Structure 1
Amino acid sequence: MIRNKTKSKSYIVHIDAVAVRPDRLRMEFATPVGISLGAFALANKKVSYYTSEDKRVKVLAATESAMYPLIQANIDPYLLLDILFDEKPRGNGWVCSLDKKNFLKTCSNKAKNINLSWLKRELKQRAVEINIPNTRIQLGLKGFQPKVEVGPETFQIIRK
């Protein structure tokens, strides 16, 4: 769920993700009924994405603003990668606490005004909340495959 705090609107978005450590990520975005909203790929410090609205592939630097066209929020794509792998966010300024089993419980970065909370952990399911100034995102992470088959085009967006 993505909640825009300033507009008081919430959106449910389904995301299928493929990630490879340390820096490759592909996400396919869809409505709850399966209609494609777009795709996003991170590789080699570049982001490529398309939205079903404009149907054009765009390539740009992997910055916080790169995800805005798809989720209407400025989030570093590397932060999402770290969350998927259940790792402390990379970069300076992060302070994290652990739960009784030594899993991440909370992380915050005061300079970036970002707070992360791991709300639930059950078997292969996790719930993580991302709070940034204008947006709150709740990620329901289900399923995990330790080995994923990826091809040369997995981490780039190509529209024909």
Structure 2
Amino acid sequence: MKILWRQLISLMQGLFLLIAVIFLKACASKQVHEGPLQQAEWDTKAMIRDMKENKTQTVSIDLMAVKNQRVRLDVTAMMGFNVASLVMSPKEIAYAIYPKKEFYYGKNSEKSIERIMGLSLHPMNLANIAFEEPVRGPGWICEQDNLKVLSKCENRQRSIRVEWKDRTPEGQKKVVITAPQLEMQWLFKPPQTEVQFKAETFTLKQPDGFKAIQIN
């Protein structure tokens, strides 16, 4: 009886040791993924208020990005109605506006999306906002909170402000963008980090029947 009892205790000790090893490996693996993101996919929703027209629209935005390299955004309204798709690199941009059947392509710059969003902002900054990186460009000043985490970027000359709020440890957050012509509350779910993008993910062709407009 004593022998069986000792064998049982030995077995339990071995089991606890195995569990501890697995737990430590899991923690080590988790620590690797908690480093700065290099690529990710976000499921987001945005409530956009047009100050000039005094209208508010809520859309879903799927954002896929490789930091500082490639970005894709697909915008849909209620019931899955396609609003726009956009792909870009730091130097080139292409986007389709489905309701208007217009396809824009050309040089990526601060003027690229001003006609559709009322923002004089380099579009690559949309990915910087998702990655919680400072907004880049002339006149932008960014601040950190007491925990040394990016909290606000502002361009006083253009009256544009970006604020990160309501962060959670899982990566959920709210970003508030205010400008003279719009206010945007952008809600991010936790990012999907285990992603492998295909080359065609960041390619957008002119849809049939769409008018092509070159951006200079």
Which one of 154, 158, 172 corresponds to residue 125 of structure 1?
Answer: 172
CA deviation digits over 1:20-55, x for unaligned, max 9?
011311000001321111200112511111121243
Q: Which amino acid aligns with 2:123?
A: P
Unaligned runs of 5+ in 2: 1-46, 209-216
- Tell me the C-alpha RMSD between the 2 structures: 1.9
Question: Are 2:210 and 1:149 equivalent residues in the alignment?
Answer: no
Which one of 98, 101, 108 corresponds to residue 55 of structure 1?
Answer: 101
In the TM superposition, what is the alpha-carbon distance from 1:56 to its structure 2 partner?
A: 4.4
In the TM superposition, what is the alpha-carbon distance from 1:86 to its structure 2 partner?
A: 0.2
Cα 1:96/1:44, change in 2 over 3 Å: closer
Which one of 114, 122, 130 corresponds to residue 84 of structure 1?
Answer: 130
Q: Which structure is higher in strand share?
A: 1
Partner of 2:159: 113
Of structures 1 and 2, the larger Rg is shown by 2
Distance in 1 of aligned mates of 2:84 and 2:156: 31
Partner of 1:73: 118
Q: Secondary structure at the match of 2:111?
A: helix
Larger mean CA deviation between 94-103 and 33-42 belongs to 94-103
Unaligned runs of 5+ in 1: none
Question: What is the TM-score normalised by the length of structure 2?
Answer: 0.67
Q: Which amino acid aligns with 1:111?
A: Q
Distance in 2 of aligned mates of 1:57 and 1:130: 26
Distance in 2 of aligned mates of 1:65 and 1:152: 26
Larger mean CA deviation between 12-21 and 28-37 belongs to 28-37
Q: Secondary structure at the match of 2:113?
A: helix
In the TM superposition, what is the alpha-carbon distance from 1:68 to its structure 2 partner?
A: 4.5
* Contact preservation (8 Å) 2:141, 2:154: yes
Q: Which amino acid aligns with 1:132?
A: A
Larger mean CA deviation between 88-97 and 137-146 belongs to 88-97
In the TM superposition, what is the alpha-carbon distance from 1:16 to its structure 2 partner?
A: 0.2
Which one of 185, 188, 205 corresponds to residue 138 of structure 1?
Answer: 185
Q: Which structure is higher in helix share?
A: 2
* Contact preservation (8 Å) 2:122, 2:137: no
CA deviation digits over 1:82-125, x for unaligned, max 9?
10110111223222221232211111112332111112112321
Question: What is the TM-score normalised by the length of structure 1?
Answer: 0.88
The number of equivalent residue pairs is 159
Distance in 1 of aligned mates of 2:144 and 2:106: 35
Partner of 1:104: 150
* Contact preservation (8 Å) 2:89, 2:124: no
Q: Secondary structure at the match of 1:153?
A: helix
